[in-house]
Amino acid sequence: MLTLTSRWRIISAIGLGAVAWHSQSTGALAEGCPPACVIDDQGRTLRLRQLQVFFRHGARTPIHSVPGNQNPSASWDADMCQSLPDLERTLRITDANGAPRPTNLANEKQKLSMLPGGCHLGCLTKTGRQDVFELGRRLRTRYMEEIAFLPTDYNSEQVTVRSTNIERTIESARMVVSGLFGTIGEDRATIARLRHPMVARAYHARNDQTQSEFTAQMARLLRVGEEEIHYVGLRDNFVARLAHNKSIPPGITRTMMRRIEGYAVRDVVALFQDRPEETLRLTCGLVIKDILNNMQHMQEHPLQSPPLRLYSAHDTTLMPLLLAFGAFDGHWPPYAADITLELFEDQHQHGDYYVRALYCGEIIRMPNQESDFVPYKVFHAAMDRLVPKNLTAECRLQNNTGANLGDGDGSSF
């Protein structure tokens, strides 16, 4: 039996400790409770002040192939990757300084790499667009209709949208905004490129006997050498196929798929095992810095701070963040997965702020905490340790250090 828990338990201790998951209500709305307020598990009336939502793009075509000449790619008809004009609104796309969107060579390379049928590598599909549109609808239901926090109409002064400079994340951001605020609107949003570093080197965890035997089995099944079995790539290809009801190579069972995912996760988690705090600083430290800065800015300048910040990103964004929060459950983040961070203020103790985290709509009980609502000072102290003080000095990555692990572009997050 494959056991991965111990590999990230070490990492979880760096941030807030071990994780507890709660599939429960996101807060009581008592009679007479003001708009945008919840009654927490301590009886406090807390008013929501800010949302930060990090989400993975929707389903896409593969970016990895199955090794071996005996394993042809699935056919990806060009129509699968067309837009959904009835669901999409217009967004203006710029870099962080308001200039036109810069070229991303990794993105352009994927667009030139065609799959059988006419789609290119890593292309957001119609299914994927629907995925993230539904995410926007879920956020609308919760934060606009249930607790009346967000305005019903889009306002660029109240919403910021950021994305990695990859087509599928930009288009996913468009769909989330459409799901939130409707498909009709002016060209007022700005999507700014994020260039947070990501550890981007291939890594293979030490094989145990069970994995070695499974690798040999996979090699025989795919008719390739054992050295060609890379679980991150296999998982990427098979999951993309299954999300679009396409067949995977004969003989790959559901049980085998679970093992492939388990070994893929283990390869990624192993990156953080030797020096977890340092690796987290390098992979998501600047993202965490943004999170803390946004929360601090809301407290100090509430009228100038947008209450909603959306970040369209990758699995390689969410996994390090989940590890940093002590909330990684051992499963690869699915398409359209989201991490939502809520910042609340006590209505009766002004200046007392609390943070609550949700993953895919379910509350994450922050480790070592008695409440779902963590005092901001506690959250800040735990996360600030993972903010790099001098990224250039700490990183020291060479330009040719390796390949992307997940579906990011290697230069974003």
DSSP states along 64-112: SPPSSTTSPPPP-BGGGG---TTT----EEB-TTSSBPPP-HHHHHHHH
Distance of alpha carbon 9 from alpha carbon 273, whole angstroms = 10
Convert the pLDDT of each residue in 221-255 to its tens digit.
999 999 999 999 999 999 999 999 999 999 999 99
Averaged over 75-86, what is the pLDDT? Answer: 94
Task: Let me know whether 258 and 337 are in one domain.
Answer: no
Q: Are 157 and 306 in contact (CB under 8 A)?
A: yes
Task: Let me know whether 44 and 147 are in one domain.
Answer: yes
Task: Let me know whether 139 and 256 are in one domain.
Answer: no
Q: What is the pTM of this model?
A: 0.88
Convert the pLDDT of each residue in 247-296 to its tens digit.
999 999 999 999 999 999 999 999 888 889 988 998 899 999 999 999 99
Task: Let me know whether 113 and 224 are in one domain.
Answer: no
Q: What is the pLDDT of residue 192?
A: 53
Task: Let me know whether 28 and 87 are in one domain.
Answer: yes
Domain residue limits at 325: 5-198+274-395
Residue 409 within any structural domain of the chain: no
Residue 412: band (very low, low, confident or very high) from pLDDT cuts 50, 70, 90: very low
Averaged over 137-143, what is the pLDDT? Answer: 97
- Convert 342-368 to b/e letters by CB count within 10 Å (16 or more is b): bbbbbeeeeeebbbbbbbbeebbbbbe
Task: Let me know whether 179 and 246 are in one domain.
Answer: no
Distance of alpha carbon 61 from alpha carbon 116, whole angstroms = 11
Q: Which residues contact 269 (CB under 8 A, 6 or more apart)?
A: 4, 7, 8, 11, 323, 328
Convert the pLDDT of each residue in 304-325 to its tens digit.
999 999 999 999 999 999 999 9
Convert the pLDDT of each residue in 320-355 to its tens digit.
999 999 999 999 999 999 999 999 999 999 999 999
Q: What is the pLDDT of residue 19?
A: 39
Residue 229, CA distances (Å) to 204, 226, 332 in order: 11, 6, 19
Task: Let me know whether 347 and 366 are in one domain.
Answer: yes
